[in-house]
């Protein structure tokens, strides 16, 4: 009878799990159906417009840079309606190729009528703009790629969306993200994998991957992403775009859903993504306005400083080719060397700079910030969900029982600096936790102390800005989940809370691909071999560099990015 009872309990548990999985799958199917219905409605609206205005010069509109487009809209030689439907049509086309859209925003048609009636024309008057999935828009979901977020519609627009609308922009699409946002791939089990429009065998990066794919494919001229470890800069690098991660408090983000929103000493930053640096500068100028400061008094009332952005004073540029933690492919080293030479030839002063203690920052500061509880809060977001395969390596590591985690952390900690380090060791602090409130306070202090140390070194060299690597070229889908700590090049400036931007300067050549075959990385360990596999087959794909300034100096960062962009285009 005991065996019968046990067998019955096991059978009941299996049935319960099966029913739960079926309910999850049903919710996913409903979300996909809603998305598809929205796409069909937009396609129908575009078709109706085409029938009414068959002579619209689609290609000419899509080829205009943002500054030229805003000028044409303000002077009236182009109508907001023509521009909106042109981009809606192109977005539908890009989505068919890449699966980058999470949802169209049908209210964009109502907003179109509103702005056409207004006498006042904002800085972004008539500009269609796309926004990342989790940036709140009234009446729409903020899913984070999670089933538990499919039931709650946003009650109001986020502050950033309100300001964009006040400036005349028309949010028209929300873009796809990886499940839970904690990935630099772009895949979730609800809406699927997003592909890179430049090469469908490659990932667009993440977590702002839908934005990267849509803008790079020509379906949006300006987008808003977010960045807590590289989530604006990595998609920009993978897709050949310009992207800016500002100082986090310059465009403050308030979570629209209670998912992974625990306060941490490393803040999430909102920022623009576009095809050129001038577009980023215009977006920042538009956002840093009285309306922003009125709606969110916690944002410092510092308007955009156009004088700094337009300055031509020679810069003192610190530079480094590697952070000493995760060596990047040969094409990135080549791009940095060429950019340095171009800057020097243009009259800027180049100064070698070595960022201190990156292994310590990556493991003890960055990863420990998010896994201070051993990953329990993060695991909770998958309750009532099915984990996307791309996240399983991290999820499985977090599921290791706590006593085993402590033992692993203790045993493996002395071995971190040994060459040929096993794959697990670079993830060791995911299993290393803060064991008390005092230890957590000390962790916060260590981050502040490191920021002070870094700024002191910067000031000693009298630097204006820093030129450094960014991870690239684009990975093959699935590999970001195997190489979490490859993001050391970007995460550093999240820990420091410095403004940092990415500019594409080159493309992968056949010679780069040949040199990759000889790539050994740091110590030819499993990480180095996996990176080699992740970036191979990328001939013709963009290669970018990263530009950095001190906190609150977004204008200087953008000015440096503009200089790099101009020089790379001359090359």
DSSP bridge pairs for 188: 192
Helix (H, G, I), strand (E, B) or coil at 334: helix
Helix (H, G, I), strand (E, B) or coil at 157: coil
Kindly state the tokens that stand for 376.
Answer: 């329990």
Q: Residues in the chain, how many?
A: 571
Q: Catalytic residue at 207?
A: yes
Query: Can you give the pLDDT at residue 463?
Result: 98
Kindly state the tokens that stand for 152.
Answer: 């709650």
Query: Can you give the pLDDT at residue 413?
Result: 61
Q: Is 181 annotated as a binding residue?
A: yes
Give per-residue pLDDT as tens, 445-455. 999 999 999 99
Query: What's the predicted TM-score (pTM) here?
Result: 0.94
- Other C-beta atoms closer than 10 Å to the C-beta of 100 total 31
Query: Can you give the pLDDT at residue 200?
Result: 98
Q: What domains are defined for the chain?
A: 29-304 (3.90.1300.10), 307-372+437-570 (3.90.1300.10), 373-434 (no CATH)
Query: Which has more pLDDT, 371 or 114?
Result: 114
- Nearest by Cα to 131 from 13, 276, 256, 10: 256
Q: From residue 283, how far is each of 144, 272, 544 by CA, in Å?
A: 24, 7, 21
Q: Is 568 annotated as a binding residue?
A: no
Helix (H, G, I), strand (E, B) or coil at 103: strand
Segment 300-315 shows an average pLDDT of 97
Q: Is 231 annotated as a binding residue?
A: yes
Q: Which residues make Cβ contacts (< 8 Å) with residue 290, sequence separation at least 6? A: none
**Residue 239 near residue 216, CB atoms below 8 Å:** yes
Of the chain, the percentage scoring pLDDT greater than 90 comes to 75
Q: Which of 130, 203, 207, 568 is catalytic?
A: 207
**Residue 490 near residue 234, CB atoms below 8 Å:** yes
Q: Is 77 annotated as a binding residue?
A: no
Segment 67-80 shows an average pLDDT of 97
Residue 120, burial from CB neighbour count under 10 angstroms (0-12, 13-18, 19+): exposed
Q: Catalytic residue at 231?
A: yes
Residue appearing with tokens 């006498």: 119
Query: Can you give the pLDDT at residue 397?
Result: 82
Q: Furthest-apart CA pair in the chain: how many Å? A: 87
Q: Which residues of 493-518 are buried (b: 16+ CB within 10 A; e: fewer)?
A: bbbbbbbbbbbbbbbbeeebbeebee
Q: Which of 142, 208, 226, 231 is catalytic?
A: 231
Query: Which has more pLDDT, 236 or 267?
Result: 236
pLDDT band at 330 (very low <50, low <70, confident <90, very high): very high
Does the pLDDT value for residue 64 go beyond 50? yes
pLDDT, the chain, mean? 91
Query: Can you give the pLDDT at residue 92?
Result: 98
Segment 474-484 shows an average pLDDT of 94
Helix locations, 53-148, DSSP H: 58-63, 66-75, 80-98, 108-117
Query: Can you give the pLDDT at residue 259?
Result: 62
Give per-residue pLDDT as tens, 193-223. 999 999 999 999 999 999 999 999 999 999 9
Query: Can you give the pLDDT at residue 1?
Result: 67
CA distance 560 to 571: 17
Q: Which residues of 160-184 are buried (b: 16+ CB within 10 A; e: fewer)?
A: bbbbbbbbbbbbbbbbbbbbbbbbb
Query: Can you give the pLDDT at residue 265?
Result: 87
Give per-residue pLDDT as tens, 366-420. 988 888 887 888 888 898 899 999 998 888 888 888 777 667 666 766 655 444 3
Query: Can you give the pLDDT at residue 417?
Result: 46
Phi, psi of 242 (to 5 degrees): -100, 135
CA distance 231 to 490: 9
pLDDT band at 474 (very low <50, low <70, confident <90, very high): very high
Query: Can you give the pLDDT at residue 423?
Result: 44
Q: Is 244 annotated as a binding residue?
A: no
- Cα distance from N-terminal residue to C-terminal residue, the chain: 81
CA distance 485 to 397: 14
Query: Can you give the pLDDT at residue 421?
Result: 45
**Residue 365 near residue 446, CB atoms below 8 Å:** yes
Of the chain, the percentage scoring pLDDT greater than 70 comes to 92
Query: Which has more pLDDT, 371 or 508?
Result: 508
Q: Is 207 annotated as a binding residue?
A: yes
Helix (H, G, I), strand (E, B) or coil at 534: helix
Of 88-102, 279-293, 384-398, minimum mean pLDDT range: 384-398
Q: Which residues of 545-569 are buried (b: 16+ CB within 10 A; e: fewer)?
A: bbbbbbbbbbbbbbbbbbbbbebbe
- Nearest by Cα to 315 from 497, 461, 463, 515: 463
Does the pLDDT value for residue 284 go beyond 90? yes
Helix locations, 99-152, DSSP H: 108-117
Give per-residue pLDDT as tens, 509-554. 999 999 999 988 766 678 888 999 999 999 999 999 999 999 999 9
Q: Which of 132, 165, 405, 426 is catalytic?
A: 132
**Residue 358 near residue 417, CB atoms below 8 Å:** no
């Amino acid at each position: 009878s005991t065996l019968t009872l046990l067998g019955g309990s096991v059978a009941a548990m299996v049935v319960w799990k099966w029913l739960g999985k079926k309910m999850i799958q049903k919710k996913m199917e409903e979300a996909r159906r809603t998305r598809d219905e929205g796409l069909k409605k937009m396609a129908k609206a575009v078709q109706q417009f085409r029938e009414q205005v068959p002579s619209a010069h689609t290609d000419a509109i899509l080829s205009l840079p943002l500054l030229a487009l805003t000028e044409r809209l303000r002077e009236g030689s182009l109508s907001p309606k023509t521009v909106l439907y042109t981009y809606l049509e192109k977005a539908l086309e890009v989505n068919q190729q890449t699966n980058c859209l999470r949802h169209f925003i049908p209210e964009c048609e109502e907003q179109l009528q509103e702005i056409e009636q207004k006498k006042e024309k904002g800085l972004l008057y008539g500009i269609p703009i796309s926004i990342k999935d989790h940036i709140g828009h009234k009446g729409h979901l903020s899913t984070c790629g999670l089933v538990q977020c499919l039931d709650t519609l946003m009650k109001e627009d986020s502050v950033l969306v309100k300001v964009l609308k006040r400036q005349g922009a028309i949010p028209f699409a929300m873009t796809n993200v990886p499940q839970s946002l904690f990935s630099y791939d772009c895949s979730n089990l609800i809406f699927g994998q997003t592909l890179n429009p430049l090469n469908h065998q490659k990932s667009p990066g993440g977590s702002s991957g839908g934005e990267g794919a849509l803008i790079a494919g020509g379906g949006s001229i300006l987008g808003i992403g977010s960045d807590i470890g590289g989530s604006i800069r990595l998609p920009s690098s993978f897709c050949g775009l310009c992207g800016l991660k500002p100082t986090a408090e310059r465009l403050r983000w308030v979570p629209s859903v209670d998912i992974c929103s625990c306060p941490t000493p490393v803040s999430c930053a909102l920022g623009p993504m576009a095809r050129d640096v001038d577009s980023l500068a215009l977006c920042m100028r538009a956002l840093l306005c009285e309306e922003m400061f009125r709606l969110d008094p916690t944002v410092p009332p510092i308007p955009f400083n156009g004088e700094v952005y337009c300055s031509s004073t020679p810069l003192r540029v610190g530079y480094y080719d590697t952070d000493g933690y995760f060596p990047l492919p040969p094409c990135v080293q080549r791009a940095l060397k060429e950019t340095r030479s171009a800057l020097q030839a243009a009259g800027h002063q180049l100064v070698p700079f070595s960022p201190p203690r990156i292994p310590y920052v990556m493991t003890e500061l960055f990863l420990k910030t998010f896994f201070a509880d051993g990953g329990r809060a993060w695991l909770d977001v998958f309750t009532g969900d099915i984990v996307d395969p791309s996240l399983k390596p991290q999820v499985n590591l977090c599921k290791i029982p706590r006593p085993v985690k402590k033992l692993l952390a203790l045993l493996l900690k002395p071995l971190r600096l040994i060459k040929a380090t096993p794959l697990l060791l670079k993830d060791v602090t995911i299993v290393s936790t803060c064991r008390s409130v005092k230890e957590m306070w000390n962790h916060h202090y260590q981050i502040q102390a490191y920021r002070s140390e870094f700024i002191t070194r910067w000031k000693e060299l009298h630097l204006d800005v820093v030129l450094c690597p960014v991870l690239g070229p684009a990975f093959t889908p699935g590999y970001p989940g195997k190489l979490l700590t490859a993001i050391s090049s970007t995460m550093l400036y999240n820990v420091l809370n410095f403004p940092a931007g990415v500019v594409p300067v080159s493309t992968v050549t056949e010679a780069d691909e040949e040199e990759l075959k000889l790539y050994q990385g740091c110590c030819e360990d499993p990480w180095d071999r996996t990176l080699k596999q992740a970036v191979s087959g990328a001939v013709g794909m963009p290669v970018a560099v990263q530009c950095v300034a001190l906190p609150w100096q977004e204008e200087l960062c953008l000015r440096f990015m503009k200089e790099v962009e101009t020089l790379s285009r001359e090359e």
